[in-house]
A and B are shown apart, each in its own frame.
Chain A
């Protein structure tokens, strides 16, 4: 079946521009997560959704970052006024539900480069 998909796969943008990253989770998965992975680094938690609500936004690095999820499915991560330090791979993951601990399935990521 279809896995988690993300678009675009690569994005090059100029400093100061806004970008939108998209995540399509596995159908039926109610939980959705965004992570940031800088080159050679670990997974930095950004935000997660249960359904359309985001109980935990504590990982968002600054108020330039925001995310939304509509219809309990697709999510977009928006970065406003991008900075060079925003360059990283942004990974999305989904899991079946919000309780009990279920496997996260990761998307292929969006590689963002801010020039």
Chain B
């Protein structure tokens, strides 16, 4: 089955700096890669996703890049703000069985 690894597990940045979270996956059949943000005590919510036919996707301060050859994808947050502080999860899905495999999460702290 699929194995998704996520790094780092914790990340602290100064407000205004950029944050990068990286994930690797093992199953070359995976073709859908969502990122979820979970604030303390709340449910995970999708913030951005990318499909395997695209190399990069951007939404305001958030971007995701995908390298299919190397089997890794990354979340980039620019101009970080305190409200970006949360746990971020990456996931991979092959789409054939709709099984989602989640990374272990990155706790991001943005220091004002």
Please determine whether chains A and B interact with each other in the same assembly.
yes
**Contact A101 B98, beta carbon cutoff 8 Å:** yes
In the assembled complex, how far is the CB of residue B53 from the closest CB belonging to chain A, in whole angstroms?
A: 11
State which residues 21-72 of B face A: CB under 8 Å.
31-32, 34, 36, 42-46, 49, 51
- Structural contact, A45 and B102, CB atoms closer than 8 A: yes
Q: How many residues of A contact B (CB 8 A)?
A: 27
Select from chain B the residue with minimum beta-carbon distance to A104. Answer: B100
Q: Which residue of A lies closest to B99 (CB)?
A: A56
Complex CA distance for A102 and B100, rounded to whole angstroms:
10
A101 to B46, CA, bound (A): 13
Q: B89, A107: Cβ atoms under 8 Å?
A: no
Are A42 and B89 interface neighbours, CB within 8 A?
yes
B97 at interface by CB-CB < 8 Å: yes
Inter-chain CA distance A56–B97, complex, in Å, is 9
Cross-chain pairs A/B with CB under 8 angstroms, 27 sampled = A31-B98, A33-B100, A41-B104, A41-B105, A42-B102, A42-B104, A42-B105, A43-B89, A43-B105, A56-B97, A91-B43, A91-B44, A95-B98, A97-B98, A101-B31, A101-B34, A101-B93, A101-B94, A101-B95, A103-B46, A103-B49, A104-B34, A104-B100, A106-B36, A107-B43, A108-B43, A109-B43
Given A104-B100, A109-B43, 15 new contacts (CB under 8 A): A41-B104, A42-B102, A42-B105, A43-B102, A48-B98, A56-B97, A56-B99, A99-B95, A100-B32, A101-B34, A101-B93, A101-B95, A102-B98, A103-B49, A108-B43
